[in-house]
Amino acid sequence: MTATKETDEVFKQDTPRIRIAWRSSRALSCGVNSFRFFPLVSLAVALASCATAFRDDSHYVAVSPTDGYYVLEKGGSLALQLGYLNPPLFSSGEDADTYTDIVAFRFDSADLLSEAPGYFTEFTPDTVALAQLTRLKQGVTTWPIIQKMFPGPNRCIKQADGGMLVYHEIRKNS
């Protein structure tokens, strides 16, 4: 055997993960069997990007020690914890400059506001609606009072405990 054949034999040995080959051009190349690792790497990258793609900026705004309201993002973890699993999307009509915010109210069986309201918005919250939310008192404010404060389209959902969940639409121009 010549020296080049012996060298070729040594460098063509396979190890479990790395194959080292001596090419005729005398260039040494190392190739990792990437097909074995590609699914795991791509899954890890996909999960990492999903975790950082949706940033939930939901938060509670305290008005007094006992009252306040939530500013929520649809599908956010805080909205889900509060039981607002899928607030309805209202049609904003044909006008492309109009979008809607949603205010969610939860009432007990006596039609009293039982929890802090939730305000769903994609952009800047409506200042008039926020001012109205600061005046609400849990256990005191009734459904008829809220109907007067927030006139317009409402969707009411009866709850199993006899209470009611109300989604109110606030139309805004961008």
What's the total number of domains in the chain? 2
What was the pLDDT predicted at 29?
47
Higher pLDDT, 8 or 123: 123
Q: Are residue 102 and residue 150 in the same domain, yes or no?
A: yes
Host domain of residue 112 = 59-173
- Domain shared by 33 and 95, yes or no: no
41/71 same-domain check: no
- What whole-number distance in Å separates Cα of residue 124 and Cα of residue 141? 26
Same structural domain for residues 112 and 131? yes
| 96, 111: one domain | yes
Residues 139, 134: Cα–Cα separation, whole Å: 14
Q: Do residue 66 and residue 146 come from a single domain?
A: yes
Average confidence score pLDDT of the chain:
76
Is the same domain home to 13 and 79?
Answer: no
| Structure tokens that stand for 42 in this block | 């791509």
Most confident of 12-21, 48-57, 109-118: 109-118
Q: What is the pLDDT of residue 75?
A: 83
Question: Does residue 64 register a pLDDT over 50?
Answer: yes
114-164 pLDDT, tens digit per residue, is 999 999 987 788 888 999 999 999 999 999 999 999 887 788 999 999 999
- DSSP collapsed to 3 states, the chain: CCHHHHHHHHHCCECCCEEEEECCCCCEEEEECHHHHHHHHHHHHHHHHHHHHCCCCCEEEECCCCCEEEEECCCCHHHHHCCCCCCCCCCCCCCCCEEEEEEEEEECCCCEECCCCEEECCCCCCHHHHHHHHCCCCCCCEHHHHHHHCCCCEEEEECCCCCEEEEEEEEEEC
Q: pLDDT band for 57, please (50, 70, 90 cuts).
A: confident
pTM flag (> 0.75): no
> Do residue 81 and residue 13 come from a single domain?
no
Do 46 and 64 belong together in one domain? no
By DSSP bridging, strand 164-173 and strand 98-107 are: antiparallel
pLDDT of residue 26: 47
Q: Are residues 81 and 159 in the same domain?
A: yes
Same domain, 75 and 143: yes
pLDDT, tens only, 19-54: 555 444 444 444 555 556 556 556 565 555 555 445
d(CA 68, CA 134): 6
- Judgement on whether residues 64 and 140 belong to the same structural domain of the protein: yes
Q: Taking Cα atoms as reference points, which of 9, 29, 27 lies closest to residue 18?
A: 29
Q: CA 74 from chain center: how many Å?
A: 6
Average confidence (pLDDT) over 102-110 = 94
